[in-house]
Structure 1
Amino acid sequence: MSSTPPPAAAALLPGDLSLLLHHLDSAPPQSQAAAEEAMRHPQLCVALLRAAPLQGDEADLRAALARRLQDAGADVLRAWQLLSVDSPTLSQACQRQALMTAECARHLAIESAYPRPDDAFLCGLLRELGHSGSSTLRDGAMNAAGLARACGAAQPLIDALELEAALDEHISNAHPLTALLWSAVRLGASAEAAEDPRLGALTALPAGTLLALRTDVAFLAGNLPTAPAEAPPASVQMPAALQYAALRGLLRGALGDCNGAAALRRLRYGSALVFGLPAPLLLTTGTDGHLLPPALDDHPASRWITELGLRGDDERSIIALAARSGTATRMRIGDEAPRCPQDWQLARWLQAPGIACLPLPRLGSGPCVAVLPQYGDSALPTPGVQAAFAAFAAQALSVLEQETSRRAALEAVRNELESSQRARARALIHEASNPLTVIRSYLGLVEQRNAADTALLAELAIIGDELDRVAELVQRFASPPGTGGEHGETCDPGAILDELDRLCASALFGCRDIRFDVRKPATLPRLAMPGGVLRQILLNLYRNAAEALPPGGRFAVAAAGPLLVDGRQCLELRLVDNGPGLPPARIDDLFGKHPSDKGRAHAGIGLSIVGELLAQWHATLVCRSQPTLGTSYQILIPLENTPKSATLR
């Protein structure tokens, strides 16, 4: 039972992995160094890629192996070694030749400026492993191409392996990888091939360069990590019962420090490397009696299975039978009508002509089962392998269930905290609404008593708008994050500058004998920022300037634009004063929260709020400040309907 394995002469089993395991056991794991070592183990390199085939964006073979080694973990590799003690493996000569051909292909690719030397390396590796034990060149080529497909190799690489037996003229006219492989095979087999004119013609390299290249590669291949030359005597080999007990202990340790996602990945690698099985689909019995995948399972068919409605007591289903009886079952899809439509559909979703079902130890509310795609007429695993695999899969399932419970508990705590916070916010709103209502009422009385004073009424209207804004801000405390927002996503900056001019010219600056100037064009483009946000930003900066400037100081505001900033049109606002300048600590951390030296009424968070609001609306602030010369702020705010990803042309 395995996932369409390509024919090969021997099992893909490891040699000596001690240095590689040392890298993985380091704290933190040295995955790149382990990957470098894995590339010296032809069988391990290919086995990892068969367990998790290459994806389209994985061009760097070393990085791809590092990810797979990190996901598999040292204990899974130890378990692999443990089961390989009594298994046939490729000869050291074959492994050395595979590395020789692979390195020749890589170095030829580098010398000829082929852009993907890792493809050439993998091509050479797969060629030798596929040809091992093959009776004819054609059979070896098909075996190697099958290995390449199982590893997720690119199509030109597969073609190069299949075309090795083609005519010379076909090889020279095919994709460059074909000629690289053909040349690497011959150069790796014999140093005399460096003098072959066909090799020189295909590689465009002189014989001297080819010979030097082969000499270097021979040195690399001569350092191939090897297993002991002879197997230990049968009398000291580990008994099967002890071997499987050790195996279960290693696999239990492999999942000991995993979260749900890592447990699923490690289960996939353990299934493929240790047991030679495809990744299983895990099903548990829900509280309603249905067989369901774990909530955190990322299998593509998980959602469909949830909708399938397969019950654990279904008498027609071999999946349910394996879960209930504790006995392994299997089924092949035939032309006749299926006995159980759910089993038939699940096999199709796994893209297999059949399924095998292995019972797992009970967890939680009922029986569990692992469903595996089955190809060909392979027999079920032996009882010892079944028991070890079931324990491994059950522990992975337990990790998933524990993480699901942990997430549910955290979500419950989060919901409780949010509910408590909203309740406190409502009480605060109730208390804060009373003084706001009183102030609003007094404003109404002042408006009535001064109905003829239009200038005063305009200023009172601004104060009333700000009181409404305060009330709105207070109301937001009772809403979950993200549910509230400013009214309107854009604003007219000219109108807001005029409004703040009327409000602040005398009340904030004139009373302190500070000269206040606002200069702007008659019309300004609308900004991609709510008016309330711009008003709050400017009021914070106005207030900071008024409190910092001495009598006789000057504070000027100017608007200009639009400007192009990183390809996006922005309005420029400049605020300049001639005060004492910012303290050095404030300049070093402009938007940080600093204790204020202005008294109890100041929290020291004005600029911090300005920074947060600017970042929220994708605006930018540039500050320049010098002692005794003053401070200037340049604010760049995106205009309305300007794409965030606009490019400068």
Structure 2
Amino acid sequence: MYSLPEPIRHAIESGRAPSPPQVLLRLLQMVDDDSTTMASLATLVEQDPGLCTRVLTAANSSAIRRGKQFSSIESCLMALGTRLVRSIATCLSVQSLFDERTATRSVDLSAFWTHSLLIAELSRSLATSSGYPRPDEAYLAGLLHDVGELILLSALGEPYLKLLAACADEAELSARESEQLGVHHGEIGTWLADQWHLDSSFADGILFHHAPAEQIVTAAQLPQLVWLAHQLSSCDEVPDELERLAGQMFGDCGNGALSASRDGAEQRMRVFADAIGIAPPERSRQAGAGGLPRVLGVRQPAPDSAAERQMAAIIGDKALLQPLQQDLCTLESDAELLLALREAARILFDLNQLAFLLCDTADGRLTARDIAGQAPIFRQVSILPEAQRSLAASAALSGEICSSYDQALPPATSLMDVQFARAFASSGLLCIPMLGRSRTVGVIVAGLTADQHQRLGHRRSGLINFGRIAGVTLESWRESQSARKESEEKAAAQFARRTRRAVHEAGNPLTIIKGYLRILDSKLPQDAGVHHELSVLGEEIERVASIVRRMSEVPASREDEQTVDVGELIRELLLLYRETLFDSRGIAVESAVPGKPVRVACDRDSIKQILLNLWKNASEALSRGERFELSLTDDVLHQGHRFAELRLQDNGPGMNEAAMAALHRSSQGPLGAARGGRGMGLAIVGTLAQQLGIPVTCRSKPGHGTMISLLLPADRAERRGKSEAKPN
């Protein structure tokens, strides 16, 4: 992993890559449009280095990444989900209007933006023509090759602005950066790519784009592609030496192929720029300045009074936090809510390292056992509500922000705080209480340096309001979930009572009718030709009575049912329900069902009910552009018996623990007792699965989709044995 000088690393921790306002405006319009797909959103994000940086940082955070590598923007957006992307877009847009670090300068990013997009398009074109297997990776590396300039501009402010103004081209800028800062923008971008855990050759493409020609020929293919794209963008005519060098690296490119690639890339760049509303510079200007952020002038801010500065900070924070509060109200789980708060803190306050501790309602202890994506130390602790235990406990008790840099420090530093700071690799902590309407809901624990703490000094009121919004939203969400669950349980109980009453009332006349039929049968002469018809009529009335008795029950499995071809059943149901449940909602369906019969020893109607409930839940949970996969595998051996595995998988928002628990609930419990976020259907699936002897496995995490596996018994004896083993 690439390392940076310590002062520079601390400085860029608060740096952010700004985006042109035209791009942010288009992003806001797209996230507010329900017809926008993830693919179209990815197309926009892939055109702007600033947005790419934000999305890659968010998707590769520990809370979402979970061991996966997201190298494409679309996969990052899919992992984040539509609601979190909307929240990020709102925060970015509003923050760009009230960021005091950009208010005192005027920088035109048009040339930088078009230059980055040109290098990206050209890198992908060269990758395709040279046979590089991942052209989209080359595109992304080209787009981000100069992202270090944006980070340094944001983090260092006026000193870097003056450095930009004094440089005529990128080569001079890179040399001056190394001389004055000890690091150049390519190294900054490389360090950032390493934080995203991307392939090392991707980061090398950013690092080596200023390498000398005699060195680049010894590099891997991806850095060579970005380097060549960068060279082609800075010349009007392709020199013979560059043609020869390209041939040495990639083989004979053909006469005029490089010029054609550059012209095509430039044409595509201009189409994108025109669509967004950015005027690209002339090629002569590109060749000279190389796409540097253009300094229009530096305006020294007039000295403000302390009151004016404080008032500006309060107004700015209110403007920042109001849209955040509106977005948080649309989220559908506490995991989604915490993810949105994490990204909002990163964008609005530059708090890149943070964790959440929630207060136990019983004894007030601070814990994080059920919160994923945090350092292991936070899942291991249970902090008593005593101020000396930790800064987090002190913040929870006082309702005030506490930090390692406060003037009134406790007499002895808590070792718990030392462990938290080590987990963040930071020198200190900032603890923000999450205040609900009547109690403290939890604490946001952030790792930060002394410089970061000083920069946040005048935004203390904004941090307090941020914690209050987090606390009230979490409290409201939990209250609504509790009220919804209570309401559903009451409705289910009321329905069950009414059903039992209806069954009882319907049973009486049916019993009377059966009695009259027996009397009529006994009174008719033996040679009357209607005895058989009366017998059939009696059987049908008994069947109706049986159906009525089962109205409030989940259908029981029928042991005398013949085996069913589950593959054929799946195809039939897809034919009937695919359009309604999936296609009409824009959800892609992928099915892998064998053409040969796959017979299982299960009741056909029960399997149908299981499938329809799971499909309906998936249809309701998934959004347009997401994917639902269905696969069937036969001859699966499990504990010495044969099964067919039916697997259903999606890339949606995931399921909460209560919903997953419903799949394993007791078949004797009431249907309303264990419902989760996806409704009664999962409880029915769990009950039917137990009755049929079907082992169920479920894996689901917020933001990472859901996988449900059903092992359908192919051996009737195995199913019967499991059923008989259950207590009556």
Mark yes or no: TM-score above 0.5.
yes
Tell me, in whole angstroms, the C-alpha distance in 2 between the residues paired with 1:80 and 1:266.
18
Q: Deviations over 1:164-202 (max 9, x none)?
A: 688989966765323212322332344566532112332
Q: 2:21 aligned to 14, 17, 22, which one? A: 17
**What does 1:28-39 align with in structure 2 at a 5 Å threshold?**
28=33, 36-39=43-46
Between 1:190-199 and 1:315-324, the stretch displaced more is: 190-199
Once the two structures are TM-superposed, the CA of residue 319 in structure 1 deviates from its matched residue by: 0.9
Once the two structures are TM-superposed, the CA of residue 148 in structure 1 deviates from its matched residue by: 0.9
Pair 1:567-2:612 in alignment: no
Once the two structures are TM-superposed, the CA of residue 412 in structure 1 deviates from its matched residue by: 1.4
**What does 1:164-183 align with in structure 2 at a 5 Å threshold?**
175-183=220-228
In structure 2, the residue matched to 1:259 is 330
In structure 2, the residue matched to 1:128 is 146
The structure with more helix, counted as a fraction of residues: 2
Pair 1:49-2:106 in alignment: no
Pair 1:198-2:245 in alignment: yes
In structure 2, the residue matched to 1:74 is 90
Q: Deviations over 1:456-500 (max 9, x none)?
A: 999888766655543443233344xxxx223425524xxxxxxxx
In 2, are the aligned partners of 1:358 and 1:371 still within 8 Å (CA)? yes
Identity of aligned residues (%): 21
Q: Quick one: which amino acid aligns to residue 402 of structure 2?
A: A
Pair 1:389-2:463 in alignment: yes
Distance 1:37 1:477, change over 3 A: closer
Pair 1:85-2:87 in alignment: no
Tell me, in whole angstroms, the C-alpha distance in 1 between the residues paired with 2:545 and 2:365.
53
Larger radius of gyration: 1
Tell me, in whole angstroms, the C-alpha distance in 1 between the residues paired with 2:366 and 2:483.
21
Once the two structures are TM-superposed, the CA of residue 17 in structure 1 deviates from its matched residue by: 0.9
Once the two structures are TM-superposed, the CA of residue 283 in structure 1 deviates from its matched residue by: 3.9
In 2, are the aligned partners of 1:358 and 1:370 still within 8 Å (CA)? yes
Once the two structures are TM-superposed, the CA of residue 104 in structure 1 deviates from its matched residue by: 2.6
In 1, are the aligned partners of 2:47 and 2:117 still within 8 Å (CA)? yes
Tell me, in whole angstroms, the C-alpha distance in 2 between the residues paired with 1:346 and 1:460.
81
Distance 1:152 1:370, change over 3 A: farther
**What does 1:401-416 align with in structure 2 at a 5 Å threshold?**
401-416=475-490
SS of 1:567 mapped into structure 2: coil
Q: 2:506 aligned to 408, 432, 443, which one? A: 432
Once the two structures are TM-superposed, the CA of residue 72 in structure 1 deviates from its matched residue by: 1.0
In structure 2, the residue matched to 1:144 is 189
In structure 2, the residue matched to 1:61 is 73
In structure 1, the residue matched to 2:586 is none
Q: 1:234 aligned to 281, 301, 308, which one? A: 301
Q: Quick one: which amino acid aligns to residue 21 of structure 1?
A: L
Tell me, in whole angstroms, the C-alpha distance in 1 between the residues paired with 2:123 and 2:90.
30
Which sections of structure 2, spanning at least 5 residues, go unmatched? 1-5, 150-173, 271-278, 282-290, 406-411, 567-592, 613-633, 636-641, 648-728
In structure 1, the residue matched to 2:318 is 248
**What does 1:342-361 align with in structure 2 at a 5 Å threshold?**
352=425, 356-360=429-433
TM-score, normalising length: structure 2: 0.56
Tell me, in whole angstroms, the C-alpha distance in 1 between the residues paired with 2:645 and 2:51.
47
Q: Quick one: which amino acid aligns to residue 182 of structure 1?
A: W
CA RMSD of aligned residues (A): 5.1
Distance 1:343 1:396, change over 3 A: same
Distance 1:185 1:346, change over 3 A: same
How many pairs were matched up? 505
Q: Quick one: which amino acid aligns to residue 206 of structure 1?
A: G
SS of 1:371 mapped into structure 2: strand
Distance 1:8 1:277, change over 3 A: closer
In 1, are the aligned partners of 2:507 and 2:545 still within 8 Å (CA)? yes
Tell me, in whole angstroms, the C-alpha distance in 2 between the residues paired with 1:10 and 1:382.
11
In 1, are the aligned partners of 2:435 and 2:470 still within 8 Å (CA)? no
Tell me, in whole angstroms, the C-alpha distance in 1 between the residues paired with 2:375 and 2:494.
36
SS of 2:297 mapped into structure 1: coil
Distance 1:427 1:87, change over 3 A: same
In structure 1, the residue matched to 2:685 is none
TM-score, normalising length: structure 1: 0.62
Tell me, in whole angstroms, the C-alpha distance in 2 between the residues paired with 1:345 and 1:469.
68
Which sections of structure 1, spanning at least 5 residues, go unmatched? 332-337, 493-525, 530-564, 572-610, 620-638
Q: Quick one: which amino acid aligns to residue 358 of structure 1?
A: C
In 2, are the aligned partners of 1:259 and 1:403 still within 8 Å (CA)? no
In structure 2, the residue matched to 1:212 is 260
Q: Quick one: which amino acid aligns to residue 15 of structure 2?
A: A
Once the two structures are TM-superposed, the CA of residue 123 in structure 1 deviates from its matched residue by: 1.2
In 2, are the aligned partners of 1:358 and 1:369 still within 8 Å (CA)? no
SS of 1:356 mapped into structure 2: strand
In structure 2, the residue matched to 1:185 is 230
In structure 2, the residue matched to 1:311 is 384
SS of 1:372 mapped into structure 2: strand
Once the two structures are TM-superposed, the CA of residue 245 in structure 1 deviates from its matched residue by: 1.4
In structure 1, the residue matched to 2:573 is none
